[in-house]
Structures are given as structure tokens and as C-alpha cells.
């Protein structure tokens, strides 16, 4: 028999044991922009914006290749803005996630996709001298001279953006493993 007022139910578990504190080594607020990681994320956003503006300004002669470049560029741009805003507005301190690991996984994955997008953009640029239709009597090129120049710029900025994502991956790995 249980004493009066006692119950056979155990006490509820402590929720703090199930939700550990977030692991964050990057500062919150505007201080993140004063770190190397914050500056590189800002460059990722800037160069990524230039990439998708340049790709979108052509007539997209090879939709399969440049469609993937646009998908990667716009998706990475949007996710980088979200990632930066999480730290700018201090949500990283409220969400119980290992942010160092999340930073490494995000930037590592994005680096792989962006490097692939750079290769596809460079491949599109290299097809400049091929005719649009092989059995046609006209010699219309896949890319006009103006689009070729835009495509070169897009390839260069896609490479620069991939390098920025690679640098972010290296910085995140260093933070995660220390």
C-alpha cells in the first residue's frame, strides 16, 4: 500500500537532459561579420548573386546544364542567407544544435555542388564555337560573342564562389574538430 498522496508513477523526466545546450563557437549579432567565417559567408552570398544574375542574363542555350547551375546557385544563395541570419539574429544560441558540425556539413555539401556547377558552366562556355544545329546551313553559334563573355564571367565567379565555400568548409572543420 502506498502512503497517502503518493503515486506509483515516477516523476517526469528533466527536459534539459534531452535538449543539450547548442555548441556554438561563432559569435552572434553583427560580431559574426568581423570573423573570417562571417566575411567568407558574405562573399559567398555576393559572388553567388553575381553568378545567378550572369547565368540568367544569357539565353540559356543548354537548359540542362545551365538549369542545374541556376538551381545550385539560387539554392546555395538562399541557404547561405538563412545560415547567416541564424547567427545575425542570435537564433544559434536558442536552437539546440551542434552548429559547428552543421556549419561543416552545410558548407562541405554546398562546396561539392557548387564545384560541379562551376564545371558545368565552364563546359557550357567551352562550347562557344559549336553550331547551334549541326545539320543546318546557317552557322549560328551556341553562344553569341556577348553571351560568351557573360558565360566566361559566370564561370569565373562560380569558381570564386566554390573557393569561398571550400574556405568555409575548412574553417568549419577546424572549429568542429577543436
Per-residue pLDDT of the chain (178 residues; tens, 9 = 90+): 566 666 677 776 665 555 566 677 787 888 888 999 999 999 999 999 999 999 999 887 777 888 999 999 999 999 999 999 999 998 888 888 888 899 999 999 999 999 999 999 999 888 877 766 666 566 777 788 888 899 999 999 999 999 999 999 999 999 888 7
What's the pTM value of the predicted model, to 2 decimals? 0.81
Q: What is the pLDDT of residue 140?
A: 72
Q: Using CA atoms, how far apart are residues 89 and 57, in angstroms rounded to an integer?
A: 33
Long-range contacts of 130-135 (CB under 8 A, 24+ apart): 132/61
- CA–chain centroid gap for 99, Å, is 15
Q: What is the pLDDT of residue 59?
A: 81
- C-alpha grid cell, residue 45: 552570398
Amino acid at each position: 500500500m502506498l502512503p497517502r498522496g503518493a503515486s506509483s508513477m515516477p516523476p517526469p523526466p528533466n527536459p534539459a537532459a534531452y535538449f543539450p545546450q547548442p555548441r556554438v563557437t561563432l559569435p552572434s549579432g553583427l560580431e559574426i561579420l568581423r570573423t573570417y567565417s562571417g566575411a567568407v559567408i558574405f562573399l559567398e552570398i555576393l559572388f553567388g548573386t553575381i553568378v545567378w544574375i550572369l547565368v540568367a542574363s544569357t539565353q540559356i542555350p543548354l537548359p540542362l546544364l545551365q538549369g542545374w547551375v541556376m538551381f545550385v546557385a539560387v539554392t546555395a544563395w538562399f541557404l547561405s542567407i538563412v545560415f547567416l541570419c541564424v547567427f545575425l539574429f542570435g537564433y544559434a544560441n536558442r536552437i539546440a544544435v551542434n552548429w559547428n558540425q552543421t556549419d561543416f556539413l552545410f558548407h562541405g555539401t554546398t562546396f561539392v555542388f557548387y564545384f560541379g556547377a562551376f564545371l558545368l558552366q565552364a563546359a557550357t562556355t567551352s562550347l562557344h564555337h559549336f553550331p547551334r544545329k549541326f545539320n543546318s546551313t546557317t552557322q549560328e553559334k551556341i553562344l553569341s560573342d556577348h553571351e560568351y563573355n557573360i558565360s566566361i564571367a559566370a564561370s569565373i565567379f562560380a569558381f570564386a564562389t566554390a573557393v569561398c565555400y571550400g574556405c568555409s568548409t575548412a574553417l568549419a572543420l577546424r572549429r568542429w574538430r577543436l
